[in-house]
Chains A and B, each alone.
Chain A
């Protein structure tokens, strides 16, 4: 690799990447000051798909707001709903039946696999390989079919209720989920032989876009971005919630700090999610999916509540400030991609544009989730 030539400030030019650029996967805009193919300065501009979800949280009653959360991140929607229902249950003191907790965990993990599969395809497409996207989408299709059969929708689910679930899983779902696990493992092996071992793929990712631990901490990065830089942090392990302590799974951590490490973390996470699903299906207890005692109108007592969950994109936090009314006083959503994305401005300086866009792909950005 060669390094850029020093140029006068008037010899650079501004390149507007986005908001409708194929690599930004949505409406993210990056203003790049370029020196030939090298980036001198970059500035991410967000807000093109802002829908004021936080304000809606203050205006709507709790049940009315349920469906908003799945509109935040259209790829891993269930994880976000999970965070919200958990914080409201904590605030209002609603007991959740064990069966419902297990089904929630299984669903969230299935959704995480689906999200990571889509990311995998899109990431390889950013690098110029188109076919893996099609393979990944076919595997994702199986998950969406399963989720559709139970939740009623394929992308923006409104499946979790305060205290339980909208619908119980049936034998058919359990059977198809059991069948899916070995099939997905086989596919994973195929992805590794097709993509991970490819020499062009490795050359483009190895040692490219180094992210130090300090940078990750400074920006509050989570998910594979932090775990690819050697930070062993997973909300499911560090601040256990729901039934996650019952499951035996590992948190993949890589110390490469480069794009390849972030790729490897996500690919390993698929395997870990499969392990959780497998155990969840084995341990699934019987019983009701909604609690017997549940307040008709949800009015949490005055207080400040917080709950973090690990979604497909990192640690997602919901802070609920209640004044005892039917609507929250304040509902703050801490979205993981927002923190992950802001690394980009600082880290992409001096990078080639092709490397920078591969780096952006490795951050796994979902723009509606940044803008909320």
Chain B
């Protein structure tokens, strides 16, 4: 495919649409899922199964007045939600959903996604800093220390996978895992590395994704029983809406990355009919796990979270990295 301006614009629009639709309907799925867990109906009035709820919520949010608190830094206050949504959308551009469905494949796809993920946490800092609210400030400090703590084990586990694949190209990483589920990086018995500790890496990566996306049990940035609403305490209207959508877009990206890095992307578990449907299936199963975890576990404290990262996850992921490197050398 030749890279023309038209192609790029089309790709970006599709990425935005995919991110937005996913974000909107994951809110619906989350609410329905939570309701199912809590034995109540959930949104079921607007449209069949409440499917019209997300657009109506969007209209409601857009109709609200955007209030800027007195003494707030106006520019940063308005820029923060945009900064939250923008990297989330941009990351979709490089994610390959199947052999053919990818907006722009890059040979440094992994690097780009992590670069944008790191950008996302600055938006939390800006939001907390600019809204001139003590709760928001505390929450944003928490969120940033959390991001720093969890990006390291996440990157180390990713390096492990990159080392096995020998490429930073997401397409290449999936190709390397093609075949049955025994080739997947989550348990690569027939794969290149034969490292039986890879499930550990998968768990570390998944935990870090939870923490990166500020999801329960690591939702310290918006711990509602401690810090009211965390970094978006002062946001109303679509400013809040964008933060909300960015959270779900980040969940989708985190799940996409988990699928690509560990679950063989669009490959079938038994080597049959590889295609986008397998990718979608794995993606939404992971997202369902996210929702399930959120409505089951209580929240950790900030110190429990940092201890988990620095004392357990980072040493373990480093150990696994070294082990994988050694095994790759041997086989």
Q: Which residues of A contact B (CB under 8 A)?
A: 1-2, 13, 15, 21-23, 37, 124-131, 134-135, 138, 194-195, 198, 200-201, 203-204, 352-355, 357
Contact A135 B298 (CB under 8 A): no
Interchain Cβ contacts under 8 Å between A and B, 14 examples = A13-B134, A21-B228, A22-B224, A127-B299, A128-B299, A130-B34, A131-B295, A134-B40, A200-B217, A200-B304, A203-B300, A203-B304, A204-B300, A204-B301
Contact A1 B303 (CB under 8 A): yes
Inter-chain contact A37/B138, CB cutoff 8 Å: yes
In the complex the two chains form, is B295's CB within 8 Å of A138's CB? no
> Judging by beta carbons under 8 Å apart, are B223 and A354 in contact?
yes
Contacts of B303 in A (CB 8 A): 1-2, 352
User: Nearest Cβ distance between residue A207 and chain B, in whole angstroms?
Assistant: 13
Contacting residues, chain B, for A129 (C-beta < 8 A): 296-299
B216 at the interface (CB under 8 A from A): yes
A contact residues around B40 at 8 Å (CB) = 134
CB-CB nearest 9 A-B residue pairs: A128-B299, A129-B298, A134-B38, A127-B298, A23-B225, A128-B298, A126-B225, A354-B301, A131-B295
Complex contacts, B228 vs chain A, CB 8 Å: 21-22
Q: Which residues of B contact A131 (CB under 8 A)?
A: 34, 37-38, 295-296
- Tell me whether A200 and B37 are in contact (CB under 8 A): no
Task: Find the A residue at minimum CB distance from B229.
Answer: A22
Chain B 28-50: CB-based contact to A (< 8 A → 1; otherwise 0): 00000010011110000000000
A341 CA / B57 CA spacing, docked (Å): 40
Q: How far is the CA of A13 from the CA of B135 in the complex (A)?
A: 12
Least CB separation from B219: chain A residue:
A128
Number of interface residues of B (CB under 8 A): 27
B302 at the binding interface (Cβ < 8 Å): yes
- A125–B134 alpha-carbon span in the complex (Å): 22
B interface majority secondary structure: loop
Given contacts A128-B216, A134-B39, contact A201 B301 (CB under 8 A): no
Q: How distant is the Cα of A130 from the Cα of B30 in the complex, in angstroms?
A: 13
A15, A195, A352: the one contacting B134 at CB < 8 Å is A15
Chain B interface residues (CB < 8 Å from chain A)? 34, 37-40, 134-135, 138, 142, 216-217, 219, 223-226, 228, 295-304
A134-B39, A135-B39, A203-B304 in contact; A354/B226 too (CB < 8 A)?
yes
Chain B residues near A2 (CB-CB < 8 A): 303
A138 to B37, alpha carbons, bound, how many Å? 13
Partner of B298, one of A1, A21, A201, A352: A201
Interfacial chain B residues near A195, Cβ < 8 Å: 298
Residue of A nearest to B297 (CB): A200
How far, in Å, is B136 (CB) from chain A's closest CB? Answer: 12
Tell me if B302 and A37 are in contact (CB < 8 A).
yes
Please tell me if the beta carbons of A198 and B225 are within 8 angstroms of each other in the complex. no
Contact across chains for B134 and A128 when beta carbons are under 8 A apart: no
Which residue of B has the minimal Cβ distance to A21? B228
Q: Residue of B at shortest CB range from A14? A: B134
Residues of A within 8 Å of B38, CB to CB, are 130-131, 134-135
CB distance from B253 to the nearest CB of A (A): 24
C-alpha gap A195/B300 in the complex (Å): 14
**Complex interface: chain A residues within 8 A of B224 (CB):** 22
Most chain B beta carbons < 10 A, residue from A37, A195, A355: A37
- When distances are taken between beta carbons in the complex, the residues of chain B under 8 Å from A126 are 225
List, in ascending order, chain B residues with CB within 8 A of A21's CB.
Answer: 228
Contacts of A353 in B (CB 8 A): 138, 226
Beta-carbon contact of B223 and A204 below 8 Å: no
Asked if A200 and B134 make an inter-chain contact with CB atoms under 8 angstroms apart, the answer reads no
Chain B residues within an 8 Å CB radius of A1: 303
Other A-B pairs beyond A23-B225, A126-B225, A128-B225, 7, CB < 8 Å = A129-B296, A130-B34, A200-B297, A200-B304, A204-B304, A352-B302, A355-B301
Whether B300 lies near A200 (C-beta < 8 A) is yes
Shortest distance between the CB of A190 and any CB in chain B (Å): 12
Residues from chain A with Cβ under 8 Å of B226 in the complex: 23, 353-354, 357
Q: How far is the CA of A194 from the CA of B303 in the complex (A)?
A: 23
- Output the least CB separation between B67 and chain A (Å): 17
User: Nearest Cβ in chain A — how far from B26, in angstroms?
Assistant: 17
B298 touches A204 (CB 8 A): yes
Residue of A nearest to B220 (CB): A354
A203 to B39, CA, bound (A): 28
Contacts of A134 in B (CB 8 A): 38-40
User: Which of A124, A352, A354, A357 counts the most chain B CB atoms within 10 A?
Assistant: A354
Q: Is the CB of A128 within 8 A of B217?
A: yes
B225 near A352 with CB under 8 A, answer no
Min Cβ gap B92→A in Å is 30
CA distance A130 to B295 in the complex (A): 6
B38 — nearest CB in chain A belongs to which residue?
Answer: A134
Q: State the CA gap A354–B34 with chains docked (Å).
A: 24
- Alpha-carbon distance between A130 and B34 when the two chains are bound, in angstroms: 9
Find chain A residues with CB under 8 A from B216 CB.
Answer: 128
By a CB distance below 8 angstroms, the chain A residues around B295 are 130-131
Does B225 lie within 8 Å of A200, measured CB to CB? no
Residue numbers in B under 8 Å from A201 (CB-CB): 298
Q: How long is the Cα–Cα vector from A203 to B303 in the complex, in angstroms?
A: 11
Chain A residues whose C-beta falls within 8 Å of the C-beta of B298 in the assembled complex: 124, 127-129, 195, 198, 200-201, 204
Could you say which residues of chain A place their CB within 8 Å of the CB of B301? 204, 352, 354-355
Residues of A near B300 (CB, < 8 A) are: 200, 203-204
A130 cross-chain contacts in B, Cβ below 8 A? 34, 38, 295
A131 to B142, CA, bound (A): 25
Query: Which residue of chain B has its CB nearest to the CB of A357?
Result: B226
- Chain A residue nearest to B137 (CB atoms) is A13
| Cα A160 to Cα B300 with chains together (Å) | 44
Chain B residue with the shortest CB-CB distance to A133? B38
**From A131, A198, A357, residue with most partner B Cβ within 10 Å:** A131
The answer on a CB contact under 8 Å between B223 and A128 is: yes
Instruction: Tell me how far the C-beta of B145 lies from the nearest C-beta in chain A, rounded to whole angstroms.
Output: 10
A127, A135, A203, A355: the one within 8 Å of B225 (CB): A127
What CA separation (Å) do A23 and B223 show in the bound complex? 10
Closest-by-CB residue of B relative to A129 is B298
Q: A2 vs B304: C-alpha distance in the bound complex, in angstroms?
A: 11
